[in-house]
Structure 1
Amino acid sequence: MKSEIRDNLFDQAMEWVMSAGANIRNKINDPLEIDTKSNANDLVTTMDKETEYYFATCIRNKYPEHFLLGEEGYGDNITTMKGTVWIIDPIDGTMNFVHQKRNFAISVGIYHEGVGEIGFIYDVMADVLYHAKRNEGAYKNNVKLPHLKEDLNLEESIIGLNHFWLCTNRLVDEKIMQDLVRTVRGTRTYGSAALEFAHVAEGIMDGYLTMRLAPWDIAAGLILVKEVGGITSNIDGDQINILEAGSVVTCNTSIQSKLLDYLQKGRK
């Protein structure tokens, strides 16, 4: 994608992200209609749907040749990453949105011919925008994020993880994960994959791992982490397929091999 086209697309996408965030803040205390999807903990609200519909309408009016992959049903049936594809999670961390009214984010990743060009992760209630353009670095609001620390030891790392490492046919043994937790300096769980990616990019967490995320959970975060020198793979160390749900390990490159060693050992 030519830089001028990317810059214009970035400016337009940022305007829509900020507008969507303002709308959510304005309605944060309004009554919500809450439904469930795959299970009782997989929540979706009228605000999730309203926000994705807003993006879908804006994109189709302004860029009718673009495609949309979204969580709430307003996207296209996408089987290839050809052309320009927007991958959007209107509210990443819906449970936090419902119960806490904070710690959730709008996540927007824009890909062109399969390459991540633009990423936004907007912590709506804190009014903090993480953003990146390919080969131009990542930013928190207007401050450029430094490259991640080199020569980091796993023992001095803070790792984000959740309790779902046992959910998919016991992918990783519980005792191995307990050993990992005892080895690292600390663990954190924020309830929003997008924000956990942003925290890895910022360097306030050193890694994040989970057994199953969807494309809209990670599309923007992949771009941010890459721009600060981090690395993302599945638990086998293979490249992420952006069109499929699966395991994710995103981290400082210094600790990737040791994290993957734990995960592989736990599968034996």
Structure 2
Amino acid sequence: MQQQYKEIYQQTLHWVTEARHLIYQYLEKGSIKHQSKSHVNDLVTEVDQVVEQFFVDKINQLFPDHQIIGEEGMNHSQVRQSEYVWYIDPIDGTSNFVTQQRDFAISIALYHQGVGVFGIIDDVKQNECFHICSGIGCFHNDEPLQLKLQPTRLLDSILAISFHFTSTNGLQFGKQLIEIGPHIRGIRSYGAATFSLLRVALGQIQGYLVPHLSPWDIAAGQLLVKEAGGIVTDFSGKPLTLDQPTTLLAAHPSIHQELLAFIQKLPLYQKD
């Protein structure tokens, strides 16, 4: 089984490199055409759709019995029940992609029977790929990467917080979340869940709180956080199942429980 995992993982790394070049072709053309999905700030571009379709075609060609869950739903609306599930976010940070043409990433992961096989986060503009595979290890580009979070106090911590400010409930929850400000060193928002999770895994920030994420936002990044010794749960403290949108708290064990206690005292959390 490990050899099979390794072969799929290495093949996917090649696909990610191809997808990166595909994105660059669009960037070289200049402006990025986009449209809104659920609301005005929920953007999708032709590039999101083309890149996801690229991965879907590759997976269907080699692994037709695998299930695919992707943000844009390109040609895989007929859900196949399978032990193997792929989670694809072709461009995480689409608003960054459209506005800045940087600070966006390809995120792809494969799970077998609910357990992560591998996860890949590719920072396209920085030419940096962070990836992890079960039984093989963790890497930054081609170099082995040792991930180990250091214990910290909440007062010394920088947290990433994101929320949907286009909905009343999301905005209210966000306002309540940032009330933690006086108890920590600082708050950041990166515009892409993959970057927030990656920075937790690298020890650059100490935690990430978000009241709503989809499975493709989480699948690859949480594997890196767990490899580093972090804890990833929903706001009730339960492990994530990746079968539906969820709340997320990722942090070092030394502050995870404190953050959980803070969240669970929020009026909107108690209301839910």
Quick check: TM above 0.5?
yes
Alpha carbons 2:164, 2:171 under 8 Å: kept: no
The answer on 1:148 being equivalent to 2:118 is no
Tell me which of the two structures has the higher relative contact order, counting C-alpha pairs closer than 8 angstroms and 6 or more residues apart: 1
Q: In structure 1, what is the Cα distance between the partners aligned to 2:178 and 2:59?
A: 45
Q: Which residue of 2 aligns with 1:184?
A: 184
* 1:243–1:101 distance in 2 versus 1, CA, 3 Å: same
Matched residue SS, 1:212: strand
Measure the CA separation in 2 of the matches of 1:178 and 1:110: 33
The answer to whether the 8 A contact 1:145-1:202 is kept is: no
Are 1:257 and 2:257 matched, yes or no?
yes
Count how many residue pairs are aligned between Structure 1 and Structure 2.
Answer: 264
Q: Which residue is 1:26 aligned to?
A: 25
Could you report, residue by residue, the CA deviation over 1:238-257 in whole angstroms, capped at 9, with x for unpaired residues?
11120100111111111100
Instruction: Give the superposition deviation at 1:173.
Output: 7.5
Q: Is the 8 A contact 1:164 1:210 kept in 2?
A: no
**Uncovered stretches (5+) of structure 1, i.e. residues with no partner:** none
Cα RMSD (Å):
1.9
Q: Distance in 2 between matches of 1:42 and 1:173?
A: 17
Rounded Cα–Cα distance in structure 1 between residues aligned with 2:188 and 2:174: 19
Q: Give 1:25 shift.
A: 1.8
Q: How far has the Cα of 1:124 moved from its partner?
A: 0.5
CA distance in structure 2 between the partners assigned to 1:202 and 1:6 by the alignment: 24
Matches within 5 A, 1:33-112: 33-74=33-74, 75-78=76-79, 82-112=82-112
Determine the structure 2 residue equivalent to 1:244: 244
Residues 100-249 of structure 1 correspond to what in structure 2 (within 5 A)?
A: 100-141=100-141, 142-150=143-151, 152-164=152-164, 167-168=168-169, 172=173, 174=175, 176-249=176-249
Q: Determine if contact 2:233/2:240 at 8 Å carries over to the other structure.
A: yes
Which residue pairs with 2:13 in the alignment? 14
Task: Give the CA deviation at 1:83.
Answer: 1.4
Say if 1:147 and 1:228, in contact at 8 Å, map to a contact too.
yes
Sort the Cα spacing of 1:12 and 1:249 in 2 relative to 1 into closer, same or farther, 3 A: same
Residues of 2 paired with 1:87 and 1:163: CA distance? 21
Offset of residue 88 of structure 1 = 0.2
Q: Please report how far the alpha carbon of residue 221 of structure 1 lies from its aligned counterpart in structure 2 after TM superposition.
A: 0.8
Change (3 A) 1:135 1:182: farther
Report the secondary structure of 1:239's partner residue.
Answer: coil
Distance 1:108 1:235 in 2: 24
User: How far is 1:154 from its partner?
Assistant: 0.7
Deviation (angstroms), 1:205: 1.1
1:69–1:216 Cα contact (<8 Å) kept: yes
- Write the distance in 1 (CA, Å) between the matches of 2:221 and 2:249: 12
SS in structure 1 of the partner of residue 150 of structure 2: coil
Structure 1 pair 177/32, CA: closer, same or farther in 2 (3 Å)? Answer: closer
TM-score, L = length of structure 2:
0.91
Residue identity opposite 2:133 in structure 1: K
1:146 is displaced (CA, Å) by: 2.5
> CA 1:139–1:93 in 2, change beyond 3 Å: closer, same or farther?
same
Structure 1 position 136, deviation (Å): 4.3
1:122-174 CA-partner distances (Å, limit 9, x unpaired): 11100111101125443322241321113x11111111012448853777483
2:85/2:111 contact within 8 Å kept: yes
Secondary structure of the residue aligned to 1:27 is helix
Question: Are 1:156 and 1:185, in contact at CA under 8 Å, matched by a contact in 2?
Answer: yes
Q: For 1:252 and 1:6, locate their aligned partners in 2 and report how far apart those are by CA, in whole Å.
A: 28
What displacement does 1:32 show? 2.9
Q: 1:138 to 1:46 in 2, by over 3 A?
A: same
